[in-house]
Amino acid sequence: MKQTPAHSVVNQDLLGLIPPNARRVVEVGCMHGAMARAYRAKNPAVEYVGIDIDPDYAAVAAEACHQALAGDIETFTPAAFDKLFPSDCWIFGDCLEHLRDPWRIVKTIRAGIDADGCLLACIPNAQHWSVQMRLATGLFRYEDSGLMDRTHVRWFTRITMMEMFFQAGWKIETAFSRQLPTQAPATLMAGIRAIAETGGTDPDQAERDANAFQLLFKVTPA
């Protein structure tokens, strides 16, 4: 299956989380290298390694990265994975949801990353009100991009994102959401609040979680 169409849009919120003096950055899902190009302009001394499962994307990214690898990070041999260290910053921009076992990958990185290192991630929120509405109406159809991207193989909510990091030995240093300008219908949000109350959870938190389109994290070794 062809991967998500490549683009050259830089996630500015994710870019802002990269340490200003990172020594060696590894970006998984680098597409055409837009993030590498933007960050290297701010920190020319960094060594930037990009990885993308699509060889055509990696070939373009090679122009922006010191090294661009084409391959599936989940099938890297132990020796190939070891060559990605030492490194002090790993980036997964809308990528972890494309992995079969993201829990294993973030745990493996935790074991090898520099003591002062960090992992940055932007993850789509499966609890977004638009997804809840699709489930309620049965119109749960895959699309070429966005929350319903047909290449997504894992779905996360705020709670399960946090659990993934905690269980792998990370602590959350920074976390915040990104929202769309489109607002949920008032009646839908009232229904989401009612479901939360019925389930014994905080309706205010349920509303906040339903408004988050993506969540961004900066995690560091616990």
Residues 112-127: pLDDT tens digits? 999 999 999 999 999 9
70: β partners: 52
CB 88 within 8 A of CB 97: no
Only one residue has tokens 């745990």, namely 107
Q: Which helix (H) or strand (E) element contains residue 46?
A: none
Q: β-strands 47-52, 67-70: how paired?
A: parallel
Enter the pTM of the model. Answer: 0.95
The dihedral formed by the CA atoms of 27, 30, 36 and 38, expressed in degrees to the nearest 10: -120
When computed from its CA atoms, the radius of gyration of the chain, rounded to whole angstroms, is 18
Phi, psi of 219 (to 5 degrees): -115, 150
Tokens of 194: 């009612």
**CB-CB contact of 122 with 10 (8 Å):** no
Tens digit of each residue's pLDDT (9 = 90 or more) over 64-112: 999 999 999 999 999 999 999 999 999 999 999 999 999 999 999 999 9
- Number of other residues whose CB lies within 10 A of the CB of residue 117: 22
Contact 11, 210 (CB under 8 A): no
**29: which 2 tokens?**
């899902």
Distance CA 19, CA 24 (A): 11
29 in Cβ contact with 151 (< 8 Å): no
Q: What span, in angstroms and rounded, lies between the C-alpha atoms of 37 and 35?
A: 5
pLDDT band at 6 (very low <50, low <70, confident <90, very high): low
What does the pLDDT read at residue 2?
54
The 10s digit of each residue's pLDDT in 22-59 is 999 999 999 999 999 999 999 999 999 999 999 999 99
Helix (H, G, I), strand (E, B) or coil at 90: strand
